[in-house]
Amino acid sequence: MGCKMKRKILIYVTLLLLGAAAIVILGTYRLYVHQRQRFIVAETTLVVLIFTVLIITVNLYISKNLTKRSKNYEKNKRILESIIEISDSILRINRVEELFQLILDRVVEIIGDAEMGSLMILKDNHLEFKAVVGFNYEKFKHIHIRLENTFLYRKGKGHIKHACVIRKIKEFNQEVFDEEMYESIHDSNFFITKSAISAPILIDGVLYGMINVDSTRDDAFVEEDLLLMEYFANQVGAVIRNHQLVDKLMYLSQYDKLTEAYNRSYFEEIFQKNVHPMAERNESITITIFDLNNLKVTNDTYGHQVGDLLIKDFAKRLSRSMGDSDLFARYGGDEFIAVYFNTNKEQVDKKINQLAETFDRQPLIVNGETLHIEFSFGTAAFPEDSKDIDKIISIADNAMYCHKQQTKKTEKCPL
């Protein structure tokens, strides 16, 4: 039954009782007039008082229920709004730490007596602080708590499934924090907390982390807060899982899974956004196309798994030889592209020839077999070879093809 209907009932009941009181008063007055000896004013006053108290009692009862329902409605509304806000932030927030902080901020706002809070993530059987409210994060970011030392672990005897209220915080902290850990945070306000709620963050049934809210009051939290915290933690687990899926999809849309280099589509996007403006400013840009010569033979002889190892090793060593601002991408099955900034063609060719010598001296060893990584490459520079930056890639590709033919036929290839 809605609040509006409750209010209507309250009005009807109040009017009904007032009408009844009026009838009683009128009847009493008539009796008093005709039979004064049997009635006294005190009795009439008593009747009126009884009905008045009854009206007030009913009114207060209904008002209390309406107020309670209104508060629950407002709280549920805030929870829903917070979950929607957090869910909507998945595509907007790039750093997962920002998502953790947003989650914790909303939890502390929703839980009535919560004044502070923390969110920890499980890693290598230790919990690391990733977000705090009301504490100094700089003092907590290097603290790692063993899973076995957490209240949830001890309360559940190793089975962490539900939220728990921690009532004797001081005693618990003395057990968990060793002397070194205590010294690192003793001047923070961590030890002023007197009660807390800790809830597990589960993703697909597996413990991912914990979220805690704290209060400086003893016994600050009630059963309703515990249930609310557990519900919110469950929703948070779903949000984090969705964020992980989005991150994975974003990664796969930008990177080559095998080599972790940019894939072709994302490279072309970056090339359009970043390299074209540099070309318009007439800055020096050198582009090299690479092609692995012996990949097909390796696949046919040793299988595609070994061929994948050859591709990965080539990409890893080549990317390490490049500058932090340079671009590197897998351009095709056995083709790669590199864009060097503020480096001329001669410098790039020298660097690549040195890399080829390194490959020759340090071959890939797989299952006792020695695999030499052989590749062809072609280099073109902007604006020396063309003032059209897009044509530079074609010129470099043609140069690579000529180099490959020259390697096969040992004949000079005209450029």
What is the residue extent of each domain of the chain? Answer: 3-89, 96-252, 264-409
pLDDT confidence of residue 178:
58
**Predicted pLDDT at 218:** 86
Name the CATH superfamily for 264-409.
Reverse transcriptase/Diguanylate cyclase domain (3.30.70.270)
In angstroms, rounded to a whole number, what is the distance separating the alpha carbons of residues 382 and 393?
A: 10
Residues in the chain, pLDDT under 70:
1-76, 79-80, 83, 90-91, 170-191, 408-415
The CATH architecture one would assign to domain 96-252 is 2-Layer Sandwich (3.30)
Please state, in angstroms and rounded to a whole number, the distance separating the CA atoms of residues 271 and 389.
10
| pLDDT number for residue 142 | 82
Asked whether 125 and 149 are in contact (CB, 8 A), the reply is no
H helices of 285-388, in order, are 295-302, 304-320, 345-361
CA distance 257 to 263: 9
> Beta strands of 325-393 (E only): which ranges?
327-330, 335-341, 364-366, 369-371, 375-382
What is the rounded CA–CA span in Å between residue 140 and residue 124?
Answer: 18
| Residues in Cβ contact with 360 at an 8 Å cutoff, skipping those fewer than 6 apart | 372
Question: Residue written as tokens 């807060």?
Answer: 225
pLDDT of residue 66: 44
Distance from C-alpha of 183 to C-alpha of 192, rounded to nearest angstrom: 15
CB 75 within 8 A of CB 110: yes
Burial zone of 239 (CB within 10 Å; 0-12 exposed, 13-18 middle, 19+ buried)? buried
Whole-number Cα distances in Å, 369 to 14, 334, 359, 411? 95, 21, 15, 30
Taking CA atoms, 117 is separated from 61, 209, 238, in Å, by 36, 14, 20
The pLDDT assigned to 172 comes to 62
Measured distance CA(388)–CA(76) in Å, rounded: 60
- Owner of token pair 């790692």: 144
Please say whether the beta carbons of 97 and 131 come within 8 A: yes
Q: Let me know: does 380 contact 345? Beta carbons within 8 Å.
A: yes
pLDDT for the residue 412 = 47
Identify the pLDDT of residue 227. Answer: 87
CA 45 to the chain's CA centroid: 68
pLDDT (tens digit per residue) in 21-40: 666 556 655 555 555 545 45
Q: At what angle do helices 345-361 and 304-320 cross, to 10 degrees?
A: 130
